[in-house]
A = this chain, B = another copy of it.
Amino acid sequence: MALSIAARSAVAGQMRASEAASPPLVTPEACARCEAREVSVCSVLSGDDLARLSHISVVSTVGEGETFITEGDPADHFFNITAGTAKLYKLLPDGRCQVTGFARTGDFLGLAAGAVYVFSAEALEPVRFCRFARSKLRGFLRDCPEMERRLLDLARNELVLAQEQMLLLGRKRARERLASFLLSWQQRAAPGPGNRLMLPMTRTDIADYLGLTIETISRTLSAFKKTRLIAQTALSELIILNGTELAAIAAGDR
């Protein structure tokens, strides 16, 4: 990631030197170097198509806490996360929040949108992404069925996850929800040294993702620690000691 951020900075630097008003367009070379490519939609693209795509994409970064997609705004862009973690969420008028997912490197955002975005996205740590204008992407897709197929696969996979989450929110108990979350996050997040699990989100984010409160998250984590299912190495860093048992809890088997 350090390498990649350096590469990105170089691109932004180029841009700034040549034309400060226009956004930092991506060069095919930058795409070829991008270490997020193999986990992104772009992985299916041949050199030729990749070059075309790079010309309609714009790289940017946002800092921690910044909102880069706002529910209700015209859904003019798609986003491909190339570094960092973001939370995706929906709000009720009175402020109640449901986090619908966490987006990481390689995730493609904007599929779940009609004319306007139906969710907001906020960076949990510095996030870098490629942005595509919806109108331009449409033209690209016309000539590139592989990409369209890939997007369909992504959307289908997201649907599978969404339904799994409905089961969790509708029918699982608090401890089952948290166990499910820890295991699924372990799947998706690169494990740190010593099998450490990094959680870039706050307890509030986890609570809003699992349909619980921060107090319940805290209490349940403490219970998991007491029964030696997990160990906490830092506030946002823990180790899963007994994944088998956690999986049994997640499935509702005890």
A residues in contact (CB < 8 Å) with B = 90, 92-94, 96-98, 100, 111-114, 118-119, 141-142, 145, 148-149, 151-152, 155-160, 162-167, 169-172, 208-211, 251-253
Contact = CB atoms under 8 A, between A and B. Distances in A.
Contacts of A93: 251-253
A73 to B, nearest CB: 15
Main secondary structure of the interface of A (DSSP, over half): helix
17 contacts: A90-B163, A90-B166, A92-B172, A93-B253, A100-B163, A111-B155, A111-B159, A118-B160, A145-B148, A148-B148, A151-B152, A159-B162, A162-B162, A169-B169, A169-B211, A170-B208, A170-B210
Copies of this chain, count: 2
Contacts of A156: 111-114, 155
A171 B92 contact: yes
Contacts of A100: 163, 166-167
A98 B92 CA distance: 23
Nearest to A88: B163
A97 B83 CA distance: 37
B167 A92 contact: yes
